[in-house]
């Protein structure tokens, strides 16, 4: 059977010797909603960075739709990234561009038609509730607002998988809920979701699959799980 | 690549030029000053070459014939000279023509009533000035040739000087070409470095290398073009001024007419544009590797 994402014996040791992930074996199927939990420094961001090839694993293989992404040639990497919508923990918005331009840029990169861009971008920005900030630049936005722009950018191309690194990390509880509901809706329409988070209540309420990392090891993989840090 | 993508590249390049206003100006300035220096040496060098060629082309061989030769023998000698490799042009100067020329030089009256003492002769131009000595030696060997003259010694010395002058000109130009590339790519590297994060982000959301690269290349090309246009204007105005000054004050040196320099300045323009593109392409390479 072809899994959407499969990690086989993956370890990551950063230069300098920090072991961020150790012997991770995990399969994620199409349409799943997966929470990635664990204390700070556990390796959640590293897990995510391996998926979109910001980092390469030190050992092990990672497959995306059956294709080994650790063996991609540099010119194939962009096409992998286009199938993933990533919300980065540090947002990574283009500082010179407005909210609208930042989101539109993701479509320009894939050479979408200007007509589609004009139609789609405002809709996605509305989904994340930022229609009133269309022409603001990132430095004029609060942390939570920037995070929502990053989410809109990840959504805009209808990727197969959305990977979000703490998408609610800077949001108040109400807005966090809005965002989670939005992600849940997107997931219901068939998009696979991987969300790293510290938001205990959200995880506990939503009862999705939970992967728990601890010191770089996968210590729990539970369907309809809860946050629960202690083992 | 779709047309709208190309349009996007240009839009992006212009937007970046404006956004990085001061840096853009600095880059244009760097390109302009580097090319002005380079262009000045180019001008000096091609004028060296021009003067050298001018002097060299004035070197010709004169072969004086024996008094005894008849028309048939003259034809034969001409044929033999022409068949020497390296000979470009052979002109026959008869006794009479030689006298006419001589009269023009010294004055008609002085030579009134004197029998023509001048021999028939040939004036020979050679393909390349370096062959003069060799050709002269061969002509000397032809039967019916009395004497061959070509400014022996002086010619060799002249060639020596022009040879070194050319070599020096080339060396200086090469050095300044390298310096120009260095200045330009360094300046552009600063603008690129300031935007390295932006380049990384583009790559992280799935842009291909070329998608990121093109706006930078276009930007570099525009910077290079603007800079070399300024340099060109400076150089042409400067050259015109120099040309007039030299013509007025040192009439025996004839500089290359300005029209000849236009071709070179088009070359400079192409070079500046290319350097701009090359400089920015080179600078962003490092940041694409994510
Ligand atoms: N580029 C890097 N170079 C060296 N060490 C790194 C690098 N990135 C992360 N690490 C280390 O790897 C470990 C895992 O980091 P990671 O960012 O994956 O944690 P995390 O689970 O995302 O934490 P948080 O919840 O705080 O975001 C940490 O000990 C961190 O110091
Ligand atoms: Mg993290």
Domain boundaries, chain B: 3-55+157-288, 60-150
A9-18, B167-176, B230-239: which has the minimum mean pLDDT?
B167-176
Q: Alpha-carbon distance B16 to B5, whole Å?
A: 16
Domain count, chain A: 1
Confidence at B152, pLDDT banded by 50, 70, 90? low
Q: What pLDDT band is residue B194 in, cutting at 50, 70 and 90?
A: confident
Residue B205 CA to chain centroid, in angstroms? 49
Residue A100 falls within a domain, yes or no? yes
Q: With contacts defined as CB-CB under 8 Å, which chain B residues touch A110?
A: 206
Distance CA A136, CA A138 (A): 7
Q: What is the mean pLDDT of residues B82-105?
A: 86
Which stretches of chain B sit within 8 Å of chain A by CB? 2, 4-5, 8, 19, 197-198, 200-209, 211, 289-290
Q: Mean of the pLDDT values across residues B113-123? A: 83
Give residue B153's pLDDT band: very low, low, confident or very high (50, 70, 90): low
> Closest partner residue to A96 among B8, B19, B209, by Cβ?
B19
Say which ligand is closest to the CA of A15. 1
Nearest CA to ligand 1 atom 7: A14
Average pLDDT over residues B275-283: 82
Q: Is residue A227 part of a domain?
A: no
Mean pLDDT by 10 residues, chain A (231 residues): 92 94 96 95 95 95 95 93 93 92 93 93 94 95 91 94 91 87 92 94 92 94 79 51
Q: Please report the sign of the dihedral spanned by the C-alpha atoms of residue B100, residue B106, residue B109, residue B110.
A: negative
Q: Is B229 helix (H, G, I), strand (E, B) or coil?
A: helix
Instruction: Report, as an integer, the average pLDDT of B72-96.
Output: 89
Give ipTM to 2 decimals: 0.88
Give the pLDDT confidence score for residue A229 in this predicted structure: 56
Residue A152 lies in a domain: yes
The residue range of the domain holding A129 is 91-158
Q: Do B204 and A79 touch (CB under 8 A)?
A: no
Tokens in use for B54?
Answer: 């001018």
Query: Does the residue A131 lie in any domain?
Result: yes
Distance to chain A for B46, nearest Cα, Å: 46
CA-based nearest residue in chain A for residue B5? A111
Average pLDDT over residues B273-281: 84
Gap between the Cα atoms of A3 and A31, Å rounded? 11
- The reported pTM is 0.73
Pairwise CA distance, residues B245 & B248, whole Å: 5
What is the rounded distance in angstroms from the CA atom of residue A45 to the CA atom of residue A47? 5
CATH classification for the domain delimited by B60-150, as one of 1.10.3720.10, 3.40.50.300, 3.40.640.10, 3.30.70.3040: 3.30.70.3040
Using an 8 Å CB-CB cutoff, list chain B residues near A94.
198, 201-202
Alpha carbon of B29: minimum distance to chain A alpha carbons (Å): 24
Q: Does the residue A45 lie in any domain?
A: no
Which residue in chain B is spatially nearest to A52 when comparing CA positions?
Answer: B204
Tokens for B30, please give them. Answer: 């760097």
When pLDDT is cut at 50, 70 and 90, the band that residue B21 belongs to is: confident
3-state secondary structure (DSSP) of residue B86:
coil
DSSP A58-119: SEEEEEETTEEGGG--GGGHHHHHHTEEEE-TT----TTS-HHHHHHHHHHHTT--HHHHHH
The answer to whether position A98 is within a domain reads: yes
CA of A196 to the centre of ligand 2 (A): 8
In-domain check, residue A109: yes
pLDDT on residue A11: 97
């Amino acid at each position: 059977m072809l899994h959407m994402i499969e990690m086989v014996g993956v370890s990551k040791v950063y230069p300098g010797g920090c072991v961020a992930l150790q012997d991770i074996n995990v399969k994620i199927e199409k349409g799943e909603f997966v929470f990635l939990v664990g204390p700070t420094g556990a390796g959640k961001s590293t897990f995510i960075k391996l998926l979109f090839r910001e980092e390469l694993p030190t050992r092990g293989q990672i497959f995306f739709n059956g294709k080994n992404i650790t063996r991609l040639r540099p010119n194939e990497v962009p096409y992998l990234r286009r199938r993933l919508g990533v919300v980065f923990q540090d947002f990574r918005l283009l500082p010179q561009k407005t909210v609208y331009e930042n989101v539109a840029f993701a479509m320009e990169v894939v050479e979408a038609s200007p007509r589609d861009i004009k139609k789609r971008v405002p809709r996605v920005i509305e989904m994340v509730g930022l229609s009133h900030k269309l022409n603001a630049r990132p430095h004029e936005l609060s942390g939570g607002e920037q995070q929502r722009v990053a989410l809109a950018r990840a959504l805009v191309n209808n990727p197969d998988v959305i990977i979000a690194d703490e998408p609610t990390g800077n949001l108040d509880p109400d807005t966090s809920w809005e965002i989670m509901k939005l992600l849940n809706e997107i997931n219901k329409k068939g998009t696979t979701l991987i969300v790293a988070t510290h938001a205990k209540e959200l995880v506990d309420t939503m009862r999705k699959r939970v992967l728990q990392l601890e010191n770089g090891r996968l210590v729990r993989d539970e369907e309809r799980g809860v946050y629960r840090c202690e083992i | 690549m779709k047309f709208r993508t190309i349009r996007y590249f240009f839009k992006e390049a212009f937007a970046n030029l404006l956004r990085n206003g001061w840096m853009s100006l600095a880059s244009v300035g760097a390109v302009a000053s580097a090319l002005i220096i380079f262009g000045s040496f180019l001008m000096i060098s091609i004028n060296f070459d021009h003067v050298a060629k001018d002097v060299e082309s004035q070197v010709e061989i004169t072969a004086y014939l024996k008094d005894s030769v008849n028309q048939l023998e003259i034809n034969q000698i001409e044929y033999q000279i022409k068949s020497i490799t390296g000979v470009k042009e052979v002109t026959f100067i008869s006794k009479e023509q030689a006298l006419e020329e001589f009269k023009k030089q010294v004055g008609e009256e002085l030579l009134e009533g004197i029998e023509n003492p001048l021999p028939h002769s040939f004036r020979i131009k050679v393909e390349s000035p370096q062959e003069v000595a060799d050709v002269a030696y061969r002509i000397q060997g032809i039967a019916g040739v009395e004497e061959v003259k070509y400014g022996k010694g002086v010619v060799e010395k002249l060639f020596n000087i022009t040879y070194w002058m050319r070599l020096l000109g080339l060396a200086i130009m090469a050095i300044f070409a390298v310096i120009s590339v260095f200045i330009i790519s360094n300046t552009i590297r600063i603008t690129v470095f300031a935007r390295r994060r932006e380049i990384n982000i583009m790559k992280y959301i799935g842009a291909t290398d070329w998608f990121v690269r093109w706006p930078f290349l276009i930007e570099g090309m525009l910077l290079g073009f603007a800079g070399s246009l300024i340099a060109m204007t400076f150089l042409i105005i400067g050259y015109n001024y120099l040309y007039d000054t030299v013509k007025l004050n040192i009439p025996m040196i004839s500089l290359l007419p300005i029209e000849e320099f236009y071709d070179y300045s088009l070359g400079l323009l192409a070079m500046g544009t290319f350097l701009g593109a090359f400089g920015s392409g080179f600078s962003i390479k490092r940041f694409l590797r994510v």
